[in-house]
């Protein structure tokens, strides 16, 4: 089974090597193996695999990682654009930037 990949060069994930202490937590929480350890620091190995879930950012206590996290759900984007907040979808979200 090959790994499914989403759109190229779109993920907003950024890592500041200056702040990274090499604690490895990002490599543990990431569900898509985006990070790997190189010379005792985390590096982004596979940016296109990032789904912007935000697990790494939340668990990096050194604030070395940033990402505009959200849920990649078209129904939630539609609900958000229509200004709905009571949608049944589990992932209602505010849409900051439109097209």
Partner 1 sequence: MKNKYIINTIKFKGKDVPVISWQLNFSDIFGAVKVRLGIKRDHYRINPGLYALGTPDKASHVFVSANYKLSFDSLRSKLKGINAWILVLDTKGVNVWCAAGKGTFGTDELNLRIKESDLAGLVAHRRLIVPQLGATGVAGHLVKKHSGFSVTFGPVRSSDIPDFLKNGLKATPIMRRVQFPLQDRVVLVPMELVTGFKYLLLIIIFFFMLGGLSSTGYSFTTAIQRGILSSILLLSAYFSGAVLGPILLPWLPGRSFSIKGLFAGFIVVPVLFLGFLRSFSLLEIISWSLIIPLLSSFLTMNFTGASTYTSLSGVKKEMCLYVPIQIIGVIGGFVLWMIDRFIR
The long-range contacts involving 72-80, CB below 8 angstroms and separated by at least 24 positions, are 72/6
User: What's the N-to-C CA distance of the chain in angstroms?
Assistant: 34
Question: Cβ closer to partner 1: 16 or 68?
Answer: 68
Q: Do the beta carbons of residue 56 and residue 12 sit within 8 Å? A: no
The least CB distance from residue 51 to partner 1, in Å, is: 5
In the complex with partner 1, which residue's Cβ is closer, 8 or 40? 8
Interface with partner 1 by CB under 8 A: which residues? 1-8, 10-12, 25, 28-33, 49-55, 58-59, 61, 68-78, 88-91, 93, 95, 97, 99
């Amino acid at each position: 089974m090959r790994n499914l990949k989403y759109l190229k060069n779109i993920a907003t994930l950024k890592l500041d090597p200056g702040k990274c202490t090499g604690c490895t937590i990002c490599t543990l929480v990431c569900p898509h193996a985006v990070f790997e350890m190189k010379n005792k620091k985390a590096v982004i190995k596979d940016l296109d695999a990032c789904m912007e879930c935000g697990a790494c950012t939340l668990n990096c206590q050194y604030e070395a990682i940033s990402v505009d996290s959200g849920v990649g759900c078209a129904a939630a984007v539609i609900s958000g654009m229509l200004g709905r907040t009571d949608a049944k979808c589990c992932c209602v979200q505010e849409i900051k930037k439109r097209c």
